[in-house]
Amino acid sequence: MLLPASAAQRVISLAPSTTELAYAAGMGDTLLAVSAYSDYPPAAKQLEQVASWQGINLERILALKPDLVLAWRGGNPQRVLDQLASFGIPIFYADAKNIDEIAQSLDALAQYSPHPEQAHQAAASLRQQVDELKTRYASNSPRPVLLQFGTQPLFTSSAATLQSQVLSLCGAENIFADSPVPWPQVSREQVLVRKPQAIVISGNAQQIANVKAFWAHSWTCR
């Protein structure tokens, strides 16, 4: 991991998750550009986009002269990241696989943030919220839930994902936790057999409406 010796002033984020980390760590004012789908906080939507699922705009990134790039190995091509590093651009890899690692990333970003206390505070707050959720739902029987991503095709997640861990903290049980792959594609029938009591999705009002329509004839969606 190649990193600057002091707080960064020109930062580029190459994934929505690293964009959120940057803002949480007090680095929002230093962001020059982000990736597609970086929509939280809302201020991120106003920034130039230099990366998407189609690839990374290496030429544009070099032109912006960043002194720090925030990357995610799970979604950014390593070949391009290696090219950026070869130009002497510091890269911070945020590859958190669980909530504790997110807190660790926030603490690690503190030394590169103009507001290090904000990064440490965000990490501490996250850990506190986890402890509170564990206490709150400790005696509850887990409620079977489907984590749904899209409808055509229908994807979900296994226990190996951060999303599933968050679900467990909230007193729910991922019905596809036992999947051998992190992001399985499943059928409507496979879901119905496992009898979820609720569906958890993310998205705007239209996306939520689409999911409700998808299940309209299977059971009553709320």
Q: What pLDDT digit, counting tens, does each position of 186-213 carry?
A: 999 999 999 999 999 877 788 888 888 8
Which CATH number characterizes residue 187's domain? Answer: 3.40.50.1980
124-170 tens-digit pLDDT? 999 999 999 999 998 888 999 999 988 889 999 999 888 999 999 99
Angle at 21 between CA 17 and CA 24, to 5 degrees: 140
Same domain, 119 and 176: no
Task: Tally the domains of the chain.
Answer: 2
Q: How far is CA 16 from the centre of its chain?
A: 6
Same domain, 100 and 147: no
Mean pLDDT score of the chain: 92
78-121 tens-digit pLDDT? 999 999 999 999 999 999 988 999 999 999 999 999 999 999 99
Residue 5 counted as domain residue? no
Same domain, 121 and 151: no
Same domain, 15 and 110: yes
Q: Taking a C-beta distance cutoff of 8 angstroms, is the pair 123, 103 a contact?
A: yes
- State the pTM of this model: 0.81
Nearest to 87 by CA among 65, 107, 102: 65
Does residue 5 have a pLDDT over 70?
no
Domain boundary among 131, 157, 191: 131
SS3 123: helix
> What range defines the domain where residue 114 resides?
11-131
Same domain, 114 and 148: no
Domain boundary among 100, 131, 162: 131
Same domain, 36 and 106: yes
Same domain, 17 and 108: yes
d(CA 22, CA 28): 6
Beta-carbon count within 10 A of 146 CB: 24
Does residue 221 have a pLDDT over 80?
no
% of the chain residues with pLDDT over 90: 75
Residue 89 counted as domain residue? yes
Residue 73 counted as domain residue? yes
Residue 90 counted as domain residue? yes
Burial class (CB in 10 A: 0-12, 13-18, 19+), 183: middle
Same domain, 102 and 41: yes
Query: Tokens 């299940």 identify what position?
Result: 215
Query: For residue 219, what pLDDT is reported?
Result: 64
Query: For residue 32, what pLDDT is reported?
Result: 98
Query: For residue 222, what pLDDT is reported?
Result: 47
Compute the chain's Rg from CA coordinates. 19
Same domain, 150 and 100: no
Query: Tokens 């594609």 identify what position?
Result: 185
Region 4-32: mean pLDDT is: 93
Residue 194 counted as domain residue? yes
Token pair belonging to 111: 């030394």
Same domain, 18 and 56: yes
Does residue 3 have a pLDDT over 70?
no
Residue 1 counted as domain residue? no
Does residue 2 have a pLDDT over 70?
no
Domain boundary among 108, 131, 154: 131
Residue 3 counted as domain residue? no
Same domain, 124 and 149: no
Q: Taking a C-beta distance cutoff of 8 angstroms, is the pair 67, 90 a contact?
A: yes
Query: For residue 6, what pLDDT is reported?
Result: 74
58-85 tens-digit pLDDT? 999 999 999 999 999 988 999 999 999 9
Same domain, 125 and 213: no
Residue 191 counted as domain residue? yes
